[in-house]
Amino acid sequence: MNSRERIQKAINHQEADRVPYDLAGTTVTGICKGAFVNAMKERGLSTAYDLAEADPISQIVTPIEETLVALKSDTRRIGARRVLDYEKVRTFDENGTAILTDLYDCQWRMSTHELYYSQATYPLKKYESITQGLEHWRVPSWGAEQIAQMEADIAPLAKQIGDFCGIADRNCAGLTEMSTRIRGHESWYMDIFIDPLGVDALAQQFLEHKKEYWASLFNWIKRNHLSENILVASECDDLGTQNSTLIDPNDLRAYIIPRFKELFGFIKNEMPGIKTFMHSCGSIRPIIPDLIDAGLDILNPVQFTAKDMELKGLKKDFGKDLVFWGGGIDTQSTLCKGTPQEVSDEVKRILDIMAPGGGFVFAPVHNIQDDVSAANFWAMWDTVMEYGKYA
């Protein structure tokens, strides 16, 4: 059974030969640079990677094809880089701090002692309201220049999809995340109450931006005769905290979820048969039915340590409607702080819950961070490959 067949069974709620495994298929199922290099050295695998291909801001790397094959990752990503022309737009100050400005006029900075970039500027923060700010700034279009850059970046990837599961991945964060990046977090939360029309207008601009992107990506996929190779379209929007939804569920139902319903409908109309994937960290159980109604097929990262996100309950209540992509091991504690035996034990426990009947693709809860040891990475991987077999 090849990788595409394996994941096809999983997303159709069927058991394959083993639980599918995803590393680097999206920008939220990857591995940070330091953890990757340390783990690959441990077993003599190539440490070569592309930092710019997916998400340099989070320092997520894309391993070379040779390594992905050795790691038996069933997925291959097709999508725009988070920072177009990363190497060209990045500069350094006199202290060695890396500085870049993305397509959305947000500046990001990473000092020599930091592991990731942090956001430093917010385009609409200086205005009294979003409504006022949108008189001077708007979400950029995904135009000819961006499309040309995207196509140049992803063209070499087409040859690597082969019998793997191709994932069409997003170009930017979700409607809520992008709104807070543009406005500033505290200001955006206040705007929900004092400038709801501005909140609505900014979310709508990002919806249109995303539709432009998806149309261009699907056009490239069709022109290159890859439609049958692309099984999943991956979106995201962090809508939860550790203990609750990010904002009141009713506000999410008013401003955000209807737009995802429109976006998921647009994606499925452009690529009939494709499955929609959404990444949202945190405690989001109250809105899972809303997301299903909006057209969601696959939920990631399945943060089971958040309130009300217990895996048995999720599988029981939503397992017929959703595929769970992630939740394979806790990245907040076990994977980074546990012993290899504790890592292996947790992976086995979760496989026992999530694997039966299909509908599960193994990935940790979010990206593997730099504080994960090589021993723990391999304890996770070895257990998935051995214990994750169906027959």
Domain parsing of the chain, residue ranges: 3-89+125-387
pLDDT at 11: 98
Strands (E), the chain: 31-32, 49-55, 60-63, 75-79, 91-92, 98-101, 107-110, 118-119, 165-169, 230-236, 275-279, 298-300, 323-325, 360-361
pLDDT at 186: 97
Give residue-wise pLDDT tens across range 280-306: 999 999 999 999 999 999 999 999 999
Give residue-wise pLDDT tens across range 224-266: 999 999 999 999 999 999 999 999 999 999 999 999 999 999 9
C-alpha–C-alpha distance, residues 283 and 267, integer Å = 26
Residue 138 burial (C-beta neighbours within 10 Å; 0-12, 13-18, 19+):
middle
* Beta-carbon contacts of residue 337 (< 8 Å; ≥ 6 apart): none
Fold type of domain 3-89+125-387: TIM Barrel (3.20.20)
C-alpha distance from residue 263 to each of 16, 180, 209, 239, 282 (Å): 30, 19, 11, 16, 22
pLDDT at 157: 86
Do 341 and 4 meet the contact criterion of CB atoms below 8 Å apart? no
Quote the tokens at residue 57: 């801001």
pLDDT at 391: 77
What pTM does this model have? 0.97
